[in-house]
Structure formats: structure tokens, C-alpha cells
Amino acid sequence: MEIMILSFILTAIITALSIRNFDKSLAIYIHKFDTTSTWREYTADIPDFLLIAVCIITVLAFIVYRTRRRRGIYNNETKFFYLIMYAVPAAYTVKSFLKYLFGRITTREWLIKPELDGFHWFQGGGGYAGFPSGHMVVFTTLTASLWRFYPRYRAVYVLFLLTLAVALVATNYHFLSDVVAGAYLGVLIEVCTCRILKADR
């Protein structure tokens, strides 16, 4: 519990500092070099892909888990699929609610309409769905689950999340603080889901 509290405080400080000192200047700097409109159009479809990915992961995890349980197999692999069967859709649900709650303007929308800067509470959706980064929430949750059950490849997981974070910021898809908050939330959801499922079983 102490670790969770300390990590929350640390993340809150880093996020606040990023919002105040780094988000806007970094977005403007990246925008100056962003001359490929085709790439912007392509990445605009990522949210649809995220929902599809969540559905596929959840359904596959459910099928694999049920199949292994019917065969009497209950090992690390079975536990992993049992966890992500709940954790991944939970991550998507939580991020959707928080986006609506915070209603933060997205990076690209802010670059067009800087006067709309900030958080627009309970007005999330469309151009007001920037915080936290849903991609970081969902994929950090999934990666944290892999980290728990397959620790041998932790370096690969870290590299994957760093690559995702850089891509989201470098394409001005998210502010830096959106990504930081999303990564923390993903870890938190994985930990909480794991503890709830252990208590349930």
C-alpha cells in the first residue's frame, strides 16, 4: 500500500510538471517538423484499432482460459489468460471514463485551437479526449501482465512501452503528460485486477 501511495504521488508530480513545463513546448517543437499529412491521417484511425484490439484480446483470452480449464490445466499460462481476460477490458473501460471526466483537449486539437487549452470537466469526447492516453493504459496493462507471468522478457516489454510512448508523443497524438498518466494507470489496473481475482478465487 505504501508503494502504491508513493508511486501515485510521484506520478502526480511528474504529470503536473509535464503539463506546466513540457507538454506545449514539446508539441510545438514536434509540429514544426510534422509535414507529412498522410501520416497524420493514418494515425487518426488508431482509436478504432484500439477498441478492436481490446475485443480480440479479451475474446481470445476467454477462449484459451476456458479451454485450458476444461482440460484441467491450471498453470502460469492459464493464470495469465485469466488475468488479461478481465484486466484488458477493465483498462479500456477505466480510460474511457477518465477521458470523459477530465475532458482534456487533444494535442492536435490544441495546435489548431490553442484558446481551448486545458481540461474541460465532464465534456470528454471528440477533441476533448486526450487525458490519459488510452493506448498507454491498455497496452501497459497487458505488458504488466506479461511482466508478472513471463519475467524473462522484461527488457522487451520495457522497450515496447518506450517505443509506444515515443510514437504517441512524436506524432503529436498525445501530450507527454497523457502518456505518463496512462502508463501509471495501466500498471495500477493490472495490480488491482490481479489482487481482486486472487481474492475471488
Condensed to tens digits (0 to 9), the pLDDT of residues 172-193 reads: 999 999 999 999 999 999 999 9
pLDDT in tens, the chain (201 residues): 778 889 999 999 999 999 999 999 999 999 887 655 555 555 555 556 899 999 999 999 999 999 999 999 999 999 999 999 999 999 999 999 999 999 999 999 999 999 999 999 998 888 999 999 999 999 999 999 999 999 999 999 999 999 999 999 999 999 999 999 999 999 999 999 999 998 665
Going from N- to C-terminal start, the domains of the chain cover: 2-43+86-200
Q: What is the pTM of this model?
A: 0.91
Note the pLDDT of residue 3. 85
Which three-class secondary structure string do you get for 58-103? HHHHHHHHHHHHHCCCCCHHHHHHHHHHHHHHHHHHHHHHHHHHHC
